[in-house]
Amino acid sequence: MAAQEPVRRPGGRNARVRTAVCEAVLDLLHEADWDDLSIAQVAERSGVHQATIYRRWGTLGALVDDVVTEQLTRSSPVPDTGTLRGDLEAYAVQVAEDVAGPLGPVFLRAALVGTRPEGEPSKQVYLLERGTQLQKMLDRARDRGENPPTLLELLEVILAPLYFHAMFFERPTNAHHARTLVDRLLALSEKK
Amino acid sequence: MAAQEPVRRPGGRNARVRTAVCEAVLDLLHEADWDDLSIAQVAERSGVHQATIYRRWGTLGALVDDVVTEQLTRSSPVPDTGTLRGDLEAYAVQVAEDVAGPLGPVFLRAALVGTRPEGEPSKQVYLLERGTQLQKMLDRARDRGENPPTLLELLEVILAPLYFHAMFFERPTNAHHARTLVDRLLALSEKK
C-alpha cells in the first residue's frame, strides 16, 4: 500500500487522517491529562489505525506537540491592525488568552519534552514559523515609518513573560498584563 | 513506628534519607532521561525503601521537582556584591549557566508538570522562596540609595527570557545574553 500511496495533497487521505487525529487529540486533552493519554486512545477516538499514527508521528510526545502547536498557531494569527501598538496589543492579548487556556500548559510542556536530545526539534519549527510572521509585522511597522523593536526583543519582552506566568504563577495572566508588556517594549524602542 | 518517629531535625534520619534520595535522583538524571526514571531505581540507588520514598514524596514528578529545585536554589545563591548592577549581573549569569546546564530542562519541565490541577504547587513555593531572596537584594539597593526595579520587573525582564531561551532556542543562553538583560532592566528603571 505504501508504494501506491499518492503524493500528499490538501483534502486527500493524508489531510483527512491528520484532521481526524488532531481532533481526537484535542478532544482527549480536554477530557484528561496528557499523562493519561495513549496512542491507542487516539486511534480509537479518531478511527485511524495505530500503525498509521505511529508511522506518521513516531511518539505520543511528537503527536501532542504537533497538534497543540498547530492549534495555537491557527487560533492566534498574527494581526494587522495598521499600527505597531495595535498589532502588538492584539497579538499579546491573544497569547495571554492562549497560555491561560487549557492548551497552554500542554504546549509549554511539549516544547520542553522537545529539548531531550533524541526529541524532535519541533519547538524550533514553531518559533521559526511564528518568528517569520512576527518579523513581517515588524517590517510593516518600519515601512509605515514607525520604529519597531527587533524580533528578539519582541519575543523576550512580550512572549517570555507570558509563558513565565503560565508556568510559575497560580493566577493566570490576562489582557491587562499583556498590554503592560507592550508598553514596556515600546518604551524600550523609544529609548533607542 | 510512625508514632515514635522523632521530630524532624537536621542530621537526623530524615535528613540522611533526604540526602541519599536527592543524590540518587541527581545521579540518575545525569545518566538517563526523566522518562526512563522510576521510583524503584531511586530506591535501589539510594538504599532507601520504595515505601519511604512514596510516603515522603508521593509521586516521581514531585520527587524530581523537589530535588532539582533544591539543587538549583543551592547552586545559585542570591549574590550580595555591593551594587545593584553587580548583584543583578552575578544572579543573571548564574541563572543562564543553570538553565543551559543538564538540570535546566528538568527543572522547567517539573514546573510544568506542577501546573496540573492535581499536582503539587511546588513551583509557587520555589518562586516564593526565590522571590523573598531577590526582594532582599532589591531592598539592599534601595537602602544604598539606588533605584531598583520591582521584583516582578526583575522576574519578567531577566528570568523569563533566560527560561524562554532554554525552552525554545537550540543554542544555549550565556553570560553575554544575561548581561544584555540586566542592561535592559536597568534602562527601564532609569526611565521611571
CATH code (residue B25):
1.10.10.60
Tell me which of A73 and A149 has the higher pLDDT.
A149
Chain A: closest CA distance from residue B25 (Å): 18
Contact B116 A33 (CB under 8 A): yes
Looking at mean pLDDT, say which of A22-26, A177-181, B25-29 comes out highest.
A177-181
Same domain flag for B105 and B175:
yes
A127: nearest CA in chain B? B168
Our count of domains for chain B comes to 2
Same domain flag for B36 and B123:
no
Same domain flag for A150 and A175:
yes
Cα B52 to Cα B54: distance, rounded to the nearest angstrom: 6
Choose the final residue of a domain: B34, B58, B82. B58
Task: Indicate the average pLDDT of chain A.
Answer: 83
Q: Give the nearest partner residue to B188 out of A35, A113, A187, using CB atoms.
A: A187
Same domain flag for B127 and B164:
yes
Same domain flag for B141 and B86:
yes
A63, A114 Cβ separation under 8 angstroms: no
- Which residue range forms the structural domain that includes residue A34? 2-58
B111, A167 Cβ separation under 8 angstroms: yes
Residues A126-139: b if buried by 16+ CB within 10 A, e if exposed = bbeebbeebeebbe
Same domain flag for A105 and A167:
yes
**Long-range contact set of residues B103-106: C-beta below 8 Å, sequence gap at least 24:** B103/B26, B103/B29, B103/B68, B103/B71, B103/B72, B104/B166, B105/A112, B105/A115, B105/A116, B105/B166, B105/B167, B106/B29, B106/B34, B106/B64, B106/B68
Same domain flag for A39 and A100:
no
B131, B162 Cβ separation under 8 angstroms: no
How confident is the model at residue B2, as a pLDDT?
43
B192: nearest CA in chain A? A187
| pLDDT of chain B, 192 residues: tens digit per residue | 444 444 555 568 888 899 999 999 988 888 877 777 899 999 999 999 999 999 998 888 888 888 887 887 777 778 999 999 999 999 999 999 888 887 787 777 776 665 433 444 555 656 777 888 899 999 999 999 999 999 999 999 999 999 888 888 877 789 999 999 999 999 998 766
Sign of CA dihedral A163, A165, A170, A172: negative
Assign residue A152 the CATH number of its domain.
1.10.357.10
Q: In which element (H, E) is residue A3 found?
A: none
Q: Per-residue pLDDT for A123 more than 90?
A: no
Chain A: closest CA distance from residue B82 (Å): 27
Task: Choose from A164, A183, A190 for mutation: most chain B CBs within 10 A.
Answer: A164
- Picking from A184, A136, A189, A128, the residue whose alpha carbon sits closest to that of residue A157 is A184
- Picking from B61, B71, B79, the residue whose alpha carbon sits closest to that of residue B18 is B71
B64, B110 Cβ separation under 8 angstroms: yes
- Picking from B102, B106, B98, the residue whose alpha carbon sits closest to that of residue B64 is B106
Name chain A contacts of B127, Cβ cutoff 8 Å: 168-169
pLDDT digits (tens, 9 = 90+) for B140-151: 999 999 999 999
Cα A154 to Cα A43: distance, rounded to the nearest angstrom: 39
Contact A112 B115 (CB under 8 A): no
- In chain A, % of residues over pLDDT 90: 44
Same domain flag for B117 and B178:
yes
Choose the final residue of a domain: B15, B33, B58. B58
Residue A148, all three cell numbers: 519597531
Contact B115 A166 (CB under 8 A): yes
Same domain flag for A140 and A80:
yes
A64, A34 Cβ separation under 8 angstroms: yes
A84, A110 Cβ separation under 8 angstroms: no
Same domain flag for A33 and A75:
no
Contact B167 A33 (CB under 8 A): no
How confident is the model at residue B117, as a pLDDT?
38
How confident is the model at residue A162, as a pLDDT?
93
pLDDT digits (tens, 9 = 90+) for A45-83: 999 999 999 999 888 888 888 888 788 777 777 899 999
Task: Choose from A29, A65, A112 for mutation: most chain B CBs within 10 A.
Answer: A112
Angle between helices B84-100 and B160-168 (to 10 degrees): 20
Chain B: closest CA distance from residue A12 (Å): 32
Choose the final residue of a domain: B32, B58, B84. B58
Same domain flag for B89 and B178:
yes
Same domain flag for B31 and B123:
no
Lowest-confidence pick of A18-22, A113-117, A135-139, B72-76: A113-117
Q: Give the nearest partner residue to B115 out of A105, A121, A123, using CB atoms.
A: A105
How confident is the model at residue A122, as a pLDDT?
52
